[in-house]
Structure 1
Amino acid sequence: MNREYSFAGTLTLSYFMNALKSIFIFLIFCFVFFGASFAKAHDSSIEELKKLHEKINYFNTVENQDSIRYYLNIGFKIAQEQHLRSDDPKDLNVYVGKMYFLQGMQCFRDKDFVKALSYYEKATIIFKEKNEKIDLARSLNNSAVIYLKTVNQAKSLESLHASTSIFIDYNDSVGITQGYINISKIYRDQNDLNRSNEYLQKALCYARKMNNPELLSTVLNAYAGIKKELEDQEGALKCYQEALEVSKLTNRPMKTALVLNNIGAIYNKLGEIEKALIHLNKANKMSVKYDSKIGVVYTNVNIAENYLLRKDFNQALVLANEAYALSKEIQNREAELKAIEGLIEILKAKNEWKQVAEYQKKLMDYQDIRESQIMTQISQNETIRYKLETEKVISESKQLEAKLIREKENQQLMFYYIIVLILFIVLFVFSFIILIRLKTTKEVNKNIIKQSEERKLLLQEVHHRVKNNFQIVSSMLRLQSYNFDNPELQENFEEAVNRINAMAIVHDVIYRQEKFKDIDAKIYLEKLVQNLHQLGDSRIDISIVSEEIPFKIETLINLGIAINEMITNSFKHAFNSSIDHPEIHISLKRLEESTFELKYKDNGVGFDAGNYESNFGTELIETIISNYDGEVNIGSEGQWNTVYRLTFKEF
């Protein structure tokens, strides 16, 4: 009882160990699967956003707006679907920020400043969190431009100083220069010319160090304008002349025309009218050549002023009227104002006061319109500011909602972690208990294995001894038969010996294999036939076709006796000298789950019905098969004159 209990306990322990391994493998699989799924989803989004970003940048360089909008819509939709968490990959955060930045640029092009600023601010938050300094600086710089347009100069200055500071840290000369130019513009609009001049000087220092003629020309032109407003005409002229030389390297003729016009205006102020006219005519010709109507208006106004200084009032009036007509055609209020102011000065010089009054009225009307436009702009700016504040509230609300979603996801994730932790603790405790049981049952298992081996050896020895005893009995019978002169009696003894050998072979097969319960019928039949063939006629060809069917020992012994009887009968009666190629064929196969068929065939002389009914061997076969709920059929089949068909069951 103790041994049986130990063996059952070992099986139960083995079962639990396998179950434990399965659970552990399942948990690892869950971790790997969910981790791989999240990583794969993130990698897919990053790769897709990266490709879209590259395409948008390419189409930005070729100014293909339709393609930009198409790919930006796809990328922006993907970016909005990402509920970013602090533990998400940095690349995913950065590319989402880049998509918000590009969407802000597109809204700025569409003059939707509210949305543009909202997207820039979202990009700014992401770039700041992920320490992407250059992208952060660009986002701040673009936000500053929008703040400037919405008359929020304080916020614009704050953003510009922050972005320029980053550009300085990264030694980005272009970014630094652009930042200083924009800061200078704000101070200039505030009429703080000294501070505006200070930042333009800084911008000029960086611009001179770069191989960027266009940027240097822009800075020099702006710097000259500040000097002009500070009444430093000589300094302004010097800057304009340098800007002119640099502008010739830009391959942008209208930038050169602008500088030429500004130089001409300075020479007019200085009274050097010949030099002024030369520069102004060049600027005018370039404006006409490149179809810049606004350039023609401003150059005509300055040329008209030049002719006024020459006292050539008629030519001055013609040019001023042309400028006025063209400004009305292009509907440029600033150019129209400039032309009207020029006409008033010329008409005053000609003492045509009636026309002066008419143009002054137009000037007053223009100023009224301008004041109305300013009021409208202020109203629009207030509307934009209100929209910005509303958008900011909505954005903060969405951010709060996203934060709540992330917190909920984190709580769910924490819940899963807790469950997994509990499972690990349970598994650890369970494993510890099992290890203790393993330790206590280890010696018992060793004893069980040892006893099993001993029993195995003992059974092998028993079967070996049984086989030897059968051989002793058969040898004694054979020796006994030698004492008889009666051939029939000797023959009976020989048949008895063969039957005993058939039983002995079973034990010999068992002795030579590992398993004792069931024996392979094919191996047994081959050994039995080989043994009988050695005692019979060597001319007879015996073939066996058998499935590998495991039978009990008792079944095989009885089956062996039956086959022994059939082979012995064939040896004695089936073959004579008229049979050239004597053959015996034996086949064994499974018909159903526990039903089998043994077919024995020889090509001998056939069988005699009378002898068949009185034959002891045949009676023995039928008796054996009847014990297995079977039946014996004897007949012929083609070349086989004798065919035994035995069907039986094993219970």
Structure 2
Amino acid sequence: MRKCFHNNILLMLVLFQFSLLLYPIMAHCEQSKTDSLRLVLQMAPNDTVSIESSMLLGLEWESINFDSSMFYYNRALKFSEKSHRLDEKARVFINMGFLHRYSLDSELAMEYLLQALQIYLDTDNKKGQLDTYYNLGEFNSHFEHFSQSIEYYNLAIGLGIELNNQERLGMVYNNLGLIYNYIGDYDKANQFQFEALKIKEKINDNTIQLTQVNIGLNYLEQKNYEEALEHYHIALNMFNENNEKAYIAQTYKNIGDVYVEINDIKEAKNYYQQAFTIYKELNDQVAISNYYMLMGNIFRKQGLIENAKISYKEALDGFPENGSHRSLFFIYSNIADLELSLSQTTKSDKDNKLKRAIGYGIKMKQIAENLGSVVLLNRSHELLFKAYKASNDQSKALEFAELYMVSRDSLYSMQKQKAIINIQTKYETEKRDLEIELLNSDNKLMSTRLSQSIDQRDNQQTVIFLLILGFISVCIFIFVIYRFYLQTKQVNSKLILQHDIISKQQEEKEVLLKEIHHRVKNNLQLVSSLLNLQTQNIEDESIISAIADGQSRIEAMVLIHQKLYQGANVSSIDFEEYALQLLNQISGLYPELKEVEKKIVASNIELDIDTSVPVGLILSELITNAFKYSFANKTGSIAIALTKDEHDFKLVVHDSGPGLPKDFDPSTTSSIGLHLVRRLSRQLYGTSRYEYDNGSKFIVTFMDTIGRRRKE
């Protein structure tokens, strides 16, 4: 990493730029950042400001124009040489190195960094040497020069230990782990990743979760899926704590990859879907396309070819123009492989399938050549060879067979080089471990001799120290216990006071609710009395009957509110008690039917107030209908049953009467009572129905308040 600006230099630039604002000609002008920096450079009062402003201009132009960036870096180099500022000169070389790295010029990038390193060696700047060794390791890794990269990282480790620079050591160990992962030495990769993890935990580094992800990748390659999932989930929890959505999505995707490997498709889809949701939120089109590609692979694995085709098409259609060419390569590869496979397993449309496979294979080859990747080129040549062979184009098949063999040989050479790197690294590591062991042996011998000479003095001092420490510890322990006792006593006093306040408020609330229910009951009874008075001047029996029905319904609600204010619980009623009282109340209106047998089955079921009122009205209607029409012989029976399944209830009212006429349809009847039953049951998210079973049998289902709220 580059640290291009020191705080004192930045402060000088800020003060100098502020002084420029005093010029009248600048008062009303709006200039770009580069224009402002040019002006600072032109009016620079000393070489320090000239160097820093030139460096800033070089940085600004890095992503815009290579030549312009180099122009300003060269100016900074001249100013540093003129003022004999060697550290500034080294910084300029480092920035030039990064610029050439971005332009993929590996030789010049390395050359500039080596010039910076030589300056730091000449001036004995250990911190500069450490940072430059790290950058050289990172550059060589970027250009896949792994042997040189490991060499520079080992030099960085030595200086990092000498300077006790834990942050840089954590970064070096992490990068070494990534290199060993790439070359296939996963045990070595985990060794360095765990070393990085230990350091990052110690210094509370904010990139610790990335190391957890890298460890997960190593275990995935080793097919140690349980360990991979464990480290992915640790990283996921950390990313969630910091709300790092891009990393959260990538970790979901990595976990999905593990489940694909263990053939748990359901879990894989679940994690891919969670990643996809975040990709859409972030509008990450490349990641969205990769999601569709992964889903296509899953569908293909399940044999759902049409679904696979649709997913691959979505992946390709949604891929952005400026997306990663490597990601696009794998989308083409999966589609081409599917078309080639289908051409061999299905006879229909074989020629078109092969043409499409060849078309995607050619696109794969173009991307691989642009990226300069032997691995991808080898894959492209293999697919094109198979596709042309299947289409009986022997000349093209031979051409790509030769290319495939050439690229495979190149790939084999690379793998052989990786194996050599492994052997060389193992030798260097063992050599360094042996040197450390010898050094430790010498140190141990010297320490033993020194310790023998001071053992007696240390023993005396230790005894005195332990006595003093013991006395202090006892005093501290007594003080802590006493303080804890006082705090506990104070907390308990507050809790008791708060409990008393809450209890008093609860009692007041219950008294108030009972008073409200009492008043509602009185008001309903008043309404019933007014209706009773109204019937005294009415002679029409149908009107009197209708008013009596209304009074019966009001009395059903009166009974509910009476139960609420008389009972211990002001928010619910016992259904069995309420139904018995309501049944007795309605049967009392028909003294001639006192022989009718009454039965209620509903033990330990309570209904909340919002449910009990409509249920009470339903029950009142059904009981009243039974007593009106079912007992012509003055005898019979009526049974009420209520059952409960969590928040779902079933009410059955069954009498022994003759039942309704066969052509009777409760859904079209003009009866107010049955119409009311249907309306109230729907209000309670339930149903009502009638059936004949040795008498009329009405079945009403409904939900309590909690069930209705959940359904909403």
TM bucket by the smaller chain?
A: 0.3 to 0.5
**TM-score, normalised relative to structure 2:** 0.40
> Which one scores higher on RCO, CA 8 angstroms, separation ≥ 6?
1
- Give TM-score, length-normalised by structure 1: 0.43
